[in-house]
Amino acid sequence: MSEPITVVGQLARDLVLVLDGDLPPTGSSGRVRERREQLGGKGANQAVALAQLGARPLLVAVAGDDAAGDALLAQARTDGIDVSAVVRRAGVPTGLIVELLRERNRWRYLEHLPDEVQLSAADIAAADRAFAGAAAVLVQLQQPEAAALAAARRARDAGALVVLDGAPPPAIRAEILALADVVRADAQETRLLTGKPGDDPAAALALLERGPRVVALAFDEGNRFAWRGPGPDTETLTLPLGDTAVVDTTGGGDAFIAALTVALLRGDPVPEAARLAVAASGATVGHVSGRPDLRGLA
C-alpha cells in the first residue's frame, strides 16, 4: 500500500502493572507480578497495528517536550510510524495511562491526559501533510469534538476513506456521521449512539441511515457488521468472538479497526475484512497490554 494511513488520536506512555490478587487496602502495599512500560494510547496502538499489517501509518497526536515524549517517539519510529505530524507541546508532560490488571481481564485505568495533550482544531489545521494523499484517516472520537470534526472534514475533502472510532458527542454527531465511510463502536458506545445493544439489527441499520457505508458494532458475544450493498439493499453479518482466552481487552478494538481499514483499502469484500478485524482483535486480547502483534496476520 503506497499511500499513508493517517491516525488522529492519543499518544501516551503506557504503564501496565499486573497484580497478584486484589488491590491492597488503604495504607498498605501490594505485589506487582509483572510490569510493562511502552508506547501507548489509542492513536499509537492503531498506528502500530497498521504498520504490522504492512501499511504506512502517519500519526497525528500530541506529546510533551519531555524525556518520555522523546522515548515514545523514538519507539514509534522503530515501529515504522511516521511521527512528523506529532505536536510537541512545550512545558507539558506527555500523557500517561496506568493499567492495573488482575486475573481474568479485571482491569482499571488511571489516566493523566490533560487538555494540553489533546489535539485542537488548530493542530489539525496545521497538519497539511497528514491529509494530503492519505488513503484513509482514522479519527478517534475520544479527542475533543472540534479536533475530531476538523479531521473528518479534512479527510473527506482529501478524498480519503473516513473511519470513525467511537461515539461522536451530540453537538457534532449528525455532521461527522454524514462525513464517515466506516464507523466502529463498542458496546457502550453503540448504546450511546442508538439506544440499542450492538446485536440488535436496528442499531446498525440506524447508523447506516446517517451516512456511513460500513458499520461494525460490538456486543458481549461478538460483532455485528452492516454495509450498503451494490444495489439498494443492506447486508449484515454477525461474527462471534474467537476462541482465544481473553487476558486483557486493552487494544483489542484498536487492532480491530486497523485490520478492518487495511482490508477495505485493498478491496477485500466486507465479510473478509470483518473476519480479519475479528482475528486481529483476538490476537491482541490474548496477552497482557494493548500493544498488538499482528505480523503475519494480513
User: Can you give the chain as a three-state secondary structure string?
Assistant: CCCCEEEECCCEEEEEEEECCCCCCCCCCCCEEEEEEEEECHHHHHHHHHHHCCCCEEEECEEECCHHHHHHHHHHHHCCCECCCCEEECCCCCCEEEEEEECCCEEEEEEECCHHHCCCHHHHHHCHHHHCCCCEEEEECCCCHHHHHHHHHHHHHCCCEEEEECCCCHHHHHHHHHHCCEEEECHHHHHHHHCCCCCCHHHHHHHHCCCCCEEEEEECCEEEEEEECCCCCEEEEEEECCCCCCCCCCCHHHHHHHHHHHHHHCCCCHHHHHHHHHHHHHHHHCCCCCCCCCCCCC
Reading the chain (298 residues) residue by residue, the pLDDT tens digits are 679 999 999 999 999 999 988 888 899 998 899 999 999 999 999 999 999 999 999 999 999 999 999 999 999 999 999 999 999 999 999 999 999 998 777 889 999 999 999 999 999 999 999 999 999 999 999 999 999 999 999 999 999 999 999 999 999 999 999 999 999 999 999 999 999 988 888 999 999 999 999 999 998 889 999 998 877 789 999 999 877 788 888 899 999 999 999 999 999 999 999 999 999 999 998 888 888 989 888 7
Question: pTM for the complete prediction?
Answer: 0.95
Domain boundaries defined on the chain: 5-12+40-94+114-285
**CATH of region 5-12+40-94+114-285, choose from 3.40.1190.20, 3.90.480.20, 1.10.3720.10, 3.40.47.10:** 3.40.1190.20
